[in-house]
């Protein structure tokens, strides 16, 4: 059970306090409710570029990192298609430094031309390092627009094209800040060995005077129901043929999300999973095989992906994947198999919850979903899933016309 | 009115409460137990004398990958299914000087997991089909890695950093092909069946459970003298590996240095932090935050039992390769020629103390810290001394260390792209 308390400032900032009396460290985590899905199609990669600029100095503080490091702490952030999350970890006695820094950059950024110019370069190098200069690195740049036709999940967080990052203008940056970076669009979690009254007072002190604004409305084009099987084969200079099956699945806030998560585990999480046993151990067709979900807030993807052994054709593996799927949906899973999936989830959760930062991030994440208390309930949701749920949802997900397949064919 | 122009007052860290794990006195090799865990998680780590410098190239890697590949009673799938039934996670980590098998699970399942693990490892039959499958997987993985500039650079760097030693061997596909089943069996017998030289157990366990685990592990205890290379030497100079069509160039710069047994180690750690081991470091400030050459650059000190090395690593846009190497050199030379400003040193002091506090947070971190010094014949006083040295270090001392250890002429410089 992860205990927490909650309050909201007059300017709309939602605050969660999580007490842990065993740690000498403190975590300040801020989730801004903005991600790559909020970008316009002509200016992609912006949410992530903006995350970099958040470290380029704020209105009263020329450098974000140095004061935090001087306080013994460190900071980082990540951007996804859904959210942007910033965190600071520092010795508890210096908590005020993190609150000072975070509140100042929520108040306003310095917006220097130099910072924008350099971070454009840095992000372009990141684009190359992670997506363009790696074997199979561009898979998600290609797969997203295959699986999504309308919803902004059709572009990757890094952006559709390096050109969008090169073209970013200071006025775009400022407008983005005005719209998304304010108390009404943020969730703050402070975790550590503190008293609630102290946290309330310090958060009110640092964040209370930041002007409140209305939360921006999010009206995204919804993805039409897929009605046809999609297939794209790309030739690349890679050593092995690789395949990526993307099945549409439900959004984060649904029961189906949890069931789909368990289905992906059953299919390909571990070496005891169905795809691994059949395709790798019994038939020796693949070198790697796995299944997982993208975990996105709007309608997501259940993925099956792997690499072929030399001399094996895409068609051979395709036939076998659909056989395994057919078996999955036509016969109910045994209770021991379901229990095996659940104990893995429970064990992984126990380990994740050990980390103070993890707890703080998760509390913000669940608060965004509607209630931080969800952090203590989702294991029960997994445990309530029955074999019948699994095969019923499997039937609706694992349909050919709900599937997009990307194949990377080796030119060697 | 909130005064945002002033930094909030900082409180320094003067001391940290380090808690040593218990050491099991009856067990013939070091066996550490940390029972103060406030939740249901647990972990056991088994250290085997089966590192990659032993045997033919690639042999240690194949054996470590086959440990759970099946016995007369259970095949690989049955073993993994049973591990999953118990909710266990495991990790097999191969280093130059050892292999660490880590087993994670809820504390009421860990003893059962360990039984399964021990039985699987001791009775592994090394079937030809499992060997063949792993060889093919490894070869494919190698072919993929050979397309990464970071991998190519690291490979060339290893060859020249650990020149003329078993530490600098790099693998080719043919090495996998040449390994026989008998060699695998012999390696397993020598380095696993009697190669266990350290155990680290963390979790809220009863005495009888710990004793049962000791009984399971006794048969694996090492009976060979542990020998480690003391005399690694790097080959200074510049080396380049060409890769067509690469958009970035990977750069590695480094040299053989020493480990924490050497008096200068802590002070050099401070110097290394200033140069490249935190977000505000000189290399990050220069190559990333000022010039935008790279997504990231860092330096580190890495340790072996008897020696260690210093390393700078980055990937830069290929058009920036020469400029990036020149800037790395300039930053190193600046440490040689100029005193570090008091303000910067002060920041790094506080940063390091904060990071030490963090790395001692919780039973897992604290135990790892302890085990990390015990391996070198040191005890927890190493960290009290570490704090003292951080407080006492001066710019003059750091400049002297830079002149002694960070001489560009001594560096191995590798690029791939």
Establish if B107 touches chain A: CB-CB under 8 angstroms: no
* Sign, CA torsion A189/A195/A200/A201: negative
Q: Is residue B3 part of a domain?
A: no
**Chain A neighbours among B 212-251 (CB < 8 Å)?**
245-248
Establish if A311 touches chain B: CB-CB under 8 angstroms: no
Look at residue B13 in the predicted model and tell me its pLDDT. 87
Do B42 and B181 share a domain, yes or no?
Answer: yes
- Contact flag B7-A67 (C-beta cutoff 8 Å): yes
Do B248 and B205 share a domain, yes or no?
Answer: no
Do B356 and B285 share a domain, yes or no?
Answer: yes
- Which one of A45, A75, A129, A289 makes the best mutation probe of the B interface by having the most chain B beta carbons within 10 Å? A129
User: What CA dihedral angle connects A164, A169, A171 and A172, to 10 degrees?
Assistant: 10
Establish if B148 touches chain A: CB-CB under 8 angstroms: yes
Strand order in the sheet with B89-94: B22-23, B31-34, B196-202, B41-48, B99-106, B89-94
Last residue of a domain, one of B165, B190, B220: B220
Establish if A135 touches chain B: CB-CB under 8 angstroms: yes
Do B263 and B395 share a domain, yes or no?
Answer: yes
Collapsing DSSP to helix, strand or coil, A155 comes out as coil
Do B59 and B167 share a domain, yes or no?
Answer: yes
Do B309 and B277 share a domain, yes or no?
Answer: yes
Do B216 and B241 share a domain, yes or no?
Answer: no
Look at residue B227 in the predicted model and tell me its pLDDT. 87
Q: Shortest Cα distance from B44 to chain A (angstroms)?
A: 14
User: Among B40, B84, B147, whose Cβ lies nearest the Cβ of A344?
Assistant: B84
**Chain B neighbours among A 143-202 (CB < 8 Å)?**
none
412 residues of chain A, pLDDT tens digit each: 999 999 999 999 999 999 999 999 999 999 999 999 999 999 999 999 999 999 999 999 999 999 999 999 999 999 999 999 999 999 999 999 999 999 999 999 998 999 999 999 999 999 999 999 999 999 999 999 999 999 999 999 999 999 999 999 999 999 999 999 999 999 999 999 999 999 999 999 999 999 999 999 999 999 999 999 999 999 999 999 999 999 999 999 999 999 999 999 999 999 999 999 999 999 999 999 999 999 999 999 999 999 999 999 999 999 999 999 999 999 999 999 999 999 999 999 999 999 999 999 999 999 999 999 999 999 999 999 999 999 999 999 999 999 999 999 999 7
Q: Is residue B32 part of a domain?
A: yes
Q: Is residue B9 part of a domain?
A: no
Q: Shortest Cα distance from A136 to chain B (angstroms)?
A: 9
Q: Is residue B232 part of a domain?
A: no
Look at residue A222 in the predicted model and tell me its pLDDT. 92
Do B191 and B276 share a domain, yes or no?
Answer: no
Do B203 and B242 share a domain, yes or no?
Answer: no
Q: Shortest Cα distance from B391 to chain A (angstroms)?
A: 14
Question: In angstroms, rounded to a whole number, what is the distance separating the alpha carbons of residues A107 and A113?
Answer: 19
The answer to whether B71 touches B173, Cβ cutoff 8 Å, is: no
Q: What is the CATH number of the domain that holds B80?
A: 3.30.830.10
Give contacts of A49 with chain B, Cβ < 8 Å: none
Question: In angstroms, rounded to a whole number, what is the distance separating the alpha carbons of residues B328 and B297?
Answer: 10
User: Among A72, A132, A356, whose Cβ lies nearest the Cβ of B353?
Assistant: A72
Look at residue A216 in the predicted model and tell me its pLDDT. 95
Question: In angstroms, rounded to a whole number, what is the distance separating the alpha carbons of residues B170 and B163?
Answer: 11
Give contacts of B128 with chain A, Cβ < 8 Å: none
Question: In angstroms, rounded to a whole number, what is the distance separating the alpha carbons of residues B260 and B85?
Answer: 42
Average pLDDT, chain A: 97
Q: Shortest Cα distance from B224 to chain A (angstroms)?
A: 34
Establish if A351 touches chain B: CB-CB under 8 angstroms: yes
Establish if B4 touches chain A: CB-CB under 8 angstroms: yes
- Contact flag A93-B11 (C-beta cutoff 8 Å): yes
Collapsing DSSP to helix, strand or coil, A154 comes out as helix
CA B75 to chain centre: 31
Interface pTM, i.e. ipTM: 0.94
Ramachandran category for residue A370: left, alpha or beta (phi over 0 → left; psi -120 to 50 → alpha): left
Q: Is residue B216 part of a domain?
A: yes
Give contacts of A408 with chain B, Cβ < 8 Å: none
Which of A175, A149, A191 is CA-nearest to residue A362?
Answer: A191
Q: Is residue B79 part of a domain?
A: yes
Q: Shortest Cα distance from A409 to chain B (angstroms)?
A: 14
In this prediction the pTM is 0.96
Look at residue B12 in the predicted model and tell me its pLDDT. 87
Give contacts of A136 with chain B, Cβ < 8 Å: 144
Work out the angle at residue B220's Cα, subtended by the Cα atoms of residues B217 and B221, and round it to the nearest 5 degrees: 95
Establish if B74 touches chain A: CB-CB under 8 angstroms: no
Domains of chain A, earliest start first:
5-207 (3.30.830.10), 230-410 (3.30.830.10)
Q: Is residue B178 part of a domain?
A: yes
The predicted-structure confidence for A247-266, as pLDDT tens digits, reads as follows 999 999 999 999 999 999 99
The answer to whether A328 touches A266, Cβ cutoff 8 Å, is: yes
Helix axes B59-66, B181-191, angle to 10 degrees: 80
Residues of chain B with pLDDT under 50: none
Last residue of a domain, one of B220, B250, B276: B220
Do B295 and B207 share a domain, yes or no?
Answer: no
The predicted-structure confidence for A292-324, as pLDDT tens digits, reads as follows 999 999 999 999 999 999 999 999 999 999 999
Q: Is residue B70 part of a domain?
A: yes
Do B216 and B247 share a domain, yes or no?
Answer: no
Question: In angstroms, rounded to a whole number, what is the distance separating the alpha carbons of residues A75 and A187?
Answer: 17
- Contact flag A70-B346 (C-beta cutoff 8 Å): yes
Collapsing DSSP to helix, strand or coil, A188 comes out as strand
Do B241 and B210 share a domain, yes or no?
Answer: no
If you measure CA to CA, which chain A residue comes closest to B148? Answer: A134
Give the domain extent around B318.
237-416
Last residue of a domain, one of B150, B185, B220: B220
The predicted-structure confidence for A196-246, as pLDDT tens digits, reads as follows 999 999 999 999 999 999 999 999 999 999 999 999 999 999 999 999 999
Domain count, chain B: 2
């Amino acid at each position: 059970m992860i205990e927490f308390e909650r309050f909201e400032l007059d300017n709309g900032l939602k605050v969660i306090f999580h007490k842990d009396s065993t740690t000498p460290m403190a975590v300040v985590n801020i989730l801004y409710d903005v991600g790559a899905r909020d970008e316009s199609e002509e200016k992609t990669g912006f949410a992530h570029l903006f995350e970099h600029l958040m470290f380029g100095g704020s209105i009263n503080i020329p450098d974000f990192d140095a004061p935090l490091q001087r306080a013994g702490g460190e900071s980082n952030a990540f951007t996804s298609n859904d959210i942007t999350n910033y965190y600071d970890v520092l010795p508890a006695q210096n908590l005020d430094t993190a609150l000072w820094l975070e509140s100042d950059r929520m108040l306003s950024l310095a917006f220097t031309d130099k910072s924008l110019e350099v971070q454009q370069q840095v992000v372009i190098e990141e684009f190359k390092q992670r997506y363009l200069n790696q074997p199979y690195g561009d898979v998600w740049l290609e797969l997203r627009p295959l699986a999504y036709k309308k919803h902004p999940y059709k572009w990757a967080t890094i952006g559709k094209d390096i050109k969008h990052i090169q073209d970013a203008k200071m006025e775009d940056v400022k407008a983005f800040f005005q719209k998304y970076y304010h108390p009404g669009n943020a969730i703050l979690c402070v975790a550590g060995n503190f008293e609630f009254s102290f946290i309330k007072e310090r958060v009110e002190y640092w964040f209370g005077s930041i002007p409140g604004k209305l939360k921006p409305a999010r009206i995204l084009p919804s993805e039409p129901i897929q009605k046809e099987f999609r297939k794209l084969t790309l030739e690349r200079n890679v050593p092995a043929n690789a395949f990526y099956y993307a099945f549409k699945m439900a959004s984060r806030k649904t029961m189906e999300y949890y069931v789909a998560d368990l289905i992906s585990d059953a299919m390909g999480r571990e070496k005891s999973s169905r795809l691994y046993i059949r395709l790798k151990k019994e038939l020796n067709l693949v070198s790697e095989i796995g299944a997982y979900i993208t975990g996105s807030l709007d309608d997501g993807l259940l993925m099956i992906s792997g690499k072929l052994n030399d001399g094996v054709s895409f068609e051979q593996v395709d036939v076998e994947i659909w056989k395994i799927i057919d078996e999955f949906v036509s016969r109910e899973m045994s209770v021991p198999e379901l229990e095996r999936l659940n104990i893995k989830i429970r064990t992984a959760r126990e380990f994740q919850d050990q980390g103070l930062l993890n707890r703080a991030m998760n509390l913000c994440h669940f608060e965004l979903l509607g209630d931080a208390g969800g952090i203590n309930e989702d294991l029960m949701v997994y445990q309530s899933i029955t074999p019948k749920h699994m095969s019923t949802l499997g039937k609706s997900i694992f349909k050919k016309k709900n599937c997009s397949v990307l194949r990377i064919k080796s030119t060697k | 009115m909130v005064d945002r122009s002033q930094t909030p007052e900082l409180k320094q860290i003067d001391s940290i409460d380090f808690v040593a794990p218990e050491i099991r006195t009856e067990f013939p090799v070091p066996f550490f137990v940390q029972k103060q865990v406030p939740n249901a998680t647990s972990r056991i780590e088994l250290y085997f004398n089966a590192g990659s410098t032993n045997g033919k190239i690639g042999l240690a890697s194949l054996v470590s990958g086959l440990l759970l590949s099946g016995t007369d009673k259970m095949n690989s799938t049955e073993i993994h299914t049973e591990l999953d039934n118990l909710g266990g996670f495991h990790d097999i980590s191969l280093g130059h000087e050892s292999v660490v098998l880590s087993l994670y699970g809820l504390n009421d399942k860990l003893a059962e997991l360990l039984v399964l693990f021990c039985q699987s490892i001791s009775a592994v039959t090394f079937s030809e089909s499992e060997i063949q499958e792993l060889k093919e997987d490894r070869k494919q993985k190698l072919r993929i890695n050979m397309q990464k500039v970071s991998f190519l650079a690291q490979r060339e760097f290893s060859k020249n950093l650990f020149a003329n030693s078993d530490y600098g061997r790099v693998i080719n596909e043919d090495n996998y092909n040449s390994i026989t089943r008998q060699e695998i069996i012999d390696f397993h017998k020598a380095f696993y069946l009697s190669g266990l030289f350290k155990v680290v157990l963390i979790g809220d366990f009863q005495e009888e459970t710990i004793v049962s685990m000791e009984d399971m592990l006794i048969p694996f205890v090492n009976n060979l003298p542990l020998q480690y290379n003391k005399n690694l030497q790097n080959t200074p100079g510049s080396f380049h590996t060409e890769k067509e069509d690469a958009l970035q160039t990977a750069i590695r710069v480094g040299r053989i240095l020493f480990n924490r047994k050497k008096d200068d180690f802590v002070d050099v750690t401070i110097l290394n932090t200033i140069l490249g081991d935190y977000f505000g470091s000189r290399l990050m400030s220069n190559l990333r935050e000022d010039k935008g050459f790279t997504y990231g650059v860092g330096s580190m000190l890495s340790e072996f039992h008897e020696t260690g090395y210093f390393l700078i690593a980055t990937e830069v846009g290929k058009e920036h390769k020469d400029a990036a190497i020149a800037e790395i050199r300039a930053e190193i030379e600046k440490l040689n020629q100029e005193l570090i400003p008091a303000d910067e040193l002060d920041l790094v002091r506080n940063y390091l103390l904060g990071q030490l506090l963090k790395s001692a947070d919780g039973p897992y971190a604290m135990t790892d810290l302890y085990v990390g010094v015990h391996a070198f014949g040191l005890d927890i006083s190493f960290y009290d001394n570490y704090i003292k040295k951080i407080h006492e270090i001066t710019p003059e001392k750091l400049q002297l260390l830079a002149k002694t250890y960070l001489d560009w002429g001594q560096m191995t410089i590798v690029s791939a792209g």
